[in-house]
Structure 1
Amino acid sequence: MGDDEDQSLEARLAGRLAELRTERGWSLDELAKRSGVSRSTLSRLERGEISPTAALLNKLCAAYGRTVSRLLAEVEPEPPQLVPADRQPVWQDRADGFTRRSVSPPHPGLRGEVVEGALQPGADIRYDVPSVPGLEHHLWVLDGTLAMTVGDVEHALRAGDCLRYRLWGSSRFHCPGPGPVRYVLLIVLP
C-alpha cells in the first residue's frame, strides 16, 4: 500500500474506533477503564493524531469483543471472494517492527481467517488478553525463527513448524533474529 492508502486506512480506523465507543454510549473515561489505555491516548487515537500499535489495538478489540482482523475489515469495503495479493490489506506497526497482511479478509458470516505476519529481528509483541477468549490459532512459520509464548509456555518455532493452540490468556510473539520471521496465522472464532 502506498502512503496515501496507509493514511486513509489510519483515518478510517480512527473514525471506526470513535464510532464503536459512541455506539456503546461509553465516555473516554469508561473506555480507558475497560481497556487499560489512557484517556489521552484514546482521544488522540480517535482524532487520528497517533497510529495505534498492535498491542494497543488488541486491548481495544478486547474491550469491544472483536478480533483485530474484524476491526480492520470494518474499515474496508465488503471483501470479495477472491483477493489478489496486491489488494490484501496491509497494516504496519512500524514502532514495533510488525507487519500484518489480511490474506483472507474476515466476513461477519464466516468463522475463519488467514493472516500473514512479519516481525523484524528483536521485535517483541505482547498481548495481555486475547481479543476474543477461546480463539483457535494455527501458527505456521514460513521463514525465520519465532519465540511464541502462550500463557506461561514458550515455544521455539523455525521455518516449517506449526503450533496449534486456543488462546485464553496472554501471548507473546518475539523474533530473536538474526533475520526477520514471516508466518501465517489461521484464526478460528470459537
Structure 2
Amino acid sequence: MDDTPSPHQAVLDEVAPRLRRLRARRGLTLAALSETTGISKSTLSRLESGQRRPSLELLLPLAAAYQVPLDDLVGAPEVGDPRVRLTPRTLPNGGTAVPLTRGPGPLQAYKMLIPDRGGEPDPRTHEGYEWLYVLEGRLRLVLAEHDLVLGPGEAAEFDTRLPHWFTSADGRPVEILSLFGRQGERMHVRAKPRA
C-alpha cells in the first residue's frame, strides 16, 4: 500500500501553518480573532495546530476577518490577474482615501488626496501613531503647538493623542501616503543622509 499523501492532503496540511502565519503577521490574538469571527478560541487553536481539519464553514469567516480570498487561506495556486483592486473612500472633509492594505492588522496604509479645508484649524486626538509622506503638493500640518508646511518628499510622524489637523497649504489638493498604527507602534524609516 502506498503511504504517499494525496495532493489534496498536502494542501490541507499546509492550512494550519498558513493560518498561524497570517494571524501573527496581522498581530492578532486568538481572543481578538475569536471575537471577530465568532469561532471559539479553542477551535482556532486546533485549526492552527493542525488538530482540527479546516472546513468551509470555518475558513469563510476567517477569510472575511483577514479580508483575503479563500484561495489565500488554502494556498490555491495563483491564476490570472495579480492586481489588487483598490476601492477609494470619500472622507468627511471631501478628500479621498485609497486603502493600500487589505486586511485588519496593526498597521494600515492609505494614499490620500486632501483638498483645502479652509477656515480655522480644528485639531483632534485619537489613539494611534501616524506617519505621513507628501507625494505631491504642499501639506499644512497643525500638531500641538507646531504649524508646519511640508512639501513633496517630506515626512512627519506623530502620536495621534497629540491634537492634530492637516489640509492643503496652498489651496490646491495635496497627495500623501499615510501609515497608521496602533498606539506605541512606530515606523522605521531608513534613508540615506543628505550630503
Q: TM-score, normalised by structure 2?
A: 0.47
Could you tell me the TM-score, scaled by structure 1's length? 0.49
Of Structure 1 and Structure 2, the greater helix share is in 1
Which structure would you say has the larger Rg? 2
Larger % of strand: which? 1
